[in-house]
Structure 1
Amino acid sequence: MALVISFNTSVRREKLARKEKAESESYRKFIDEQAKLAYEELVKNQSPKKAFFGAILGVFLGLALLILFVWNGLVFYWMLFVPAAVIGYLACKFGKIYESKYANMIGVIGLLTNGFAVMTLYNYEAIALSTIPIAFIVTRYFAKLKLTEAQERAIWRKEIGKL
């Protein structure tokens, strides 16, 4: 009787192992297909030209907001980050960029805009000058598309050459 039970148990284990192997292979194929589709969608939707256009539009809107605040007597140094955030946000919405090189390009636009605002509106004040490098970081943060887990996995798989 013990021999029959052990034989049935080993047969069940083999069947279970084969079933798990088949499921894992189909799951891997599904993950590969999802990653490929997510990556193709990211590449298709990304447009550096539209991001640049959104950034230029953001420069005008952000500076208009900052000028409005300064003319009404609201001179707070944190308001120097408003144009940077607007530039990054509009670049992200228009261009849907996910690559760092394009986000850095938009960050430079935000940095130059902040430098212009410090020179003209804040007359080279020391605290205002210290916000210039931070404006690059703020603009870059808002310019880059927030990726889903599937999109991050797709980019990672593309980088290691498994896509």
Structure 2
Amino acid sequence: MARKGKGESESYRKFIDEQAKQAYEDLVKNQSPKKAFLGALLGVFLGLALLILFVWNGLVFYWMLFVPAAVIGYLACKFGKIYESKYANMVGVIGLLTNGIAVMTLYNFEALALSSIPISFFVTRYFAKLKLTEAQEKGIWRKEIGQL
């Protein structure tokens, strides 16, 4: 392999830096915690409607307890485009409370159903956080170390 000249590597580094800067600016511009909260509230209603529909029709599978959490997280991600953990945690708490209320009312305090309540926080948080590209991760990293 031929070695690149100094001018090529410098221009490539500038291109990568610009790409990371642009990706970070787009992330910050598009993130909206208020919209994520509204998406999570919409997800509460849709997720609970699905869970109630399943339970009333006799479909009592315990993995279905995570459907509201996944719907809440997915809609929060689509509406708010959140990438920061603090906002994903906020949405995770909404999913945790929703699942807790649903389990206590629909499943009459069954032990296995109660054990799913803490897990719903992580399911909601996983779906709430935006999946980042390599350029976006590089932009966040450069911002954290002060090179952006």
Matching residue within 136, 141, 146 for 1:156: 141
What is the distance in 1 between the residues matched to 2:109 and 2:27?
41
Deviates more, 1:23-32 or 1:120-129: 23-32
Normalising by structure 2, what TM-score? 0.96
Name the structure 2 match of 1:55. 40
Unaligned runs of 5+ in 2: none
Unaligned runs of 5+ in 1: 1-15
Q: Tell me, what secondary structure is at the counterpart of 1:145?
A: coil
Give the Å deviation of 1:32. 0.9
Give the Å deviation of 1:104. 0.4
Identity of aligned residues (%): 88
- After TM superposition, the runs of 4+ consecutive aligned structure 1 residues lying more than 3 A away are none
What is the distance in 2 between the residues matched to 1:121 and 1:76?
12
Matching residue within 103, 107, 121 for 1:122: 107
Q: Tell me, what secondary structure is at the counterpart of 2:144?
A: helix
Matching residue within 79, 99, 102 for 1:94: 79
Q: Tell me, what secondary structure is at the counterpart of 2:18?
A: helix
* Higher alpha-carbon Rg: 1
Give the Å deviation of 1:76. 1.0
What is the distance in 2 between the residues matched to 1:148 and 1:54?
23
What is the distance in 1 between the residues matched to 2:78 and 2:43?
11
Name the structure 2 match of 1:142. 127
Give the Å deviation of 1:28. 1.1
CA deviations 1:111-151 (Å, max 9, x no partner) are 00000011100011100010011100000000000111111
Does 1:83 find its partner at 2:54? no
Higher relative contact order (CA 8 A, sep 6+): 2
Normalising by structure 1, what TM-score? 0.88
Name the structure 2 match of 1:7. none
Name the structure 2 match of 1:11. none
Give the Å deviation of 1:94. 0.2
Give the Å deviation of 1:88. 0.2
